[in-house]
Amino acid sequence: MEIKKNIPNNTVTRRLVDLDKDTGNIYESINIIARRANQIAAELKTELTRKLADFSSPTDTMEETFENREQIEISRYYERLPKPTIIATEEFLDGELYYKMKKEGEE
């Protein structure tokens, strides 16, 4: 997954006016951001699991497991990434998310 470089790692205070500007409703905006954050978290988890699968072997037990330097570096990289909610919020504010609102009466 490609992460933009200008996303902060720390929490940033947001103005509610900025969040509900596109949808007109703060709760709908938060719902859109939350759903995107779940997608990002799932993508990151899949990517990390795939990369770490190279280091595991079926015969390892808890006593035999040792730390591999490359494995540690991969884990540290993912730990330093911004949280999925921050990434999703930035994408929403930058207008990079596509969402479709249901009309009244639709299921």
Could you report the per-residue pLDDT of 76-104, keeping only the tens digit for each?
888 888 899 999 998 998 888 888 877 77
Residue 40 lies inside a defined structural domain of this protein:
yes
Domain count, the chain: 1
Residue 100 lies inside a defined structural domain of this protein:
no
Q: Which domain holds residue 57?
A: 16-93
Residue 99 lies inside a defined structural domain of this protein:
no
Residue 11 lies inside a defined structural domain of this protein:
no
Q: Return the C-alpha torsion angle 59, 62, 67, 72, nearest 10.
A: 100
Q: How far is CA 79 from CA 22, 38, 44, 48, 74, in A?
A: 31, 17, 11, 11, 9
Residue 7 lies inside a defined structural domain of this protein:
no
Residue 36 lies inside a defined structural domain of this protein:
yes
Residue 71 lies inside a defined structural domain of this protein:
yes
pTM, to two decimals: 0.77
Could you report the per-residue pLDDT of 38-82, keeping only the tens digit for each?
999 999 999 998 888 877 666 655 554 556 778 888 888 888 888
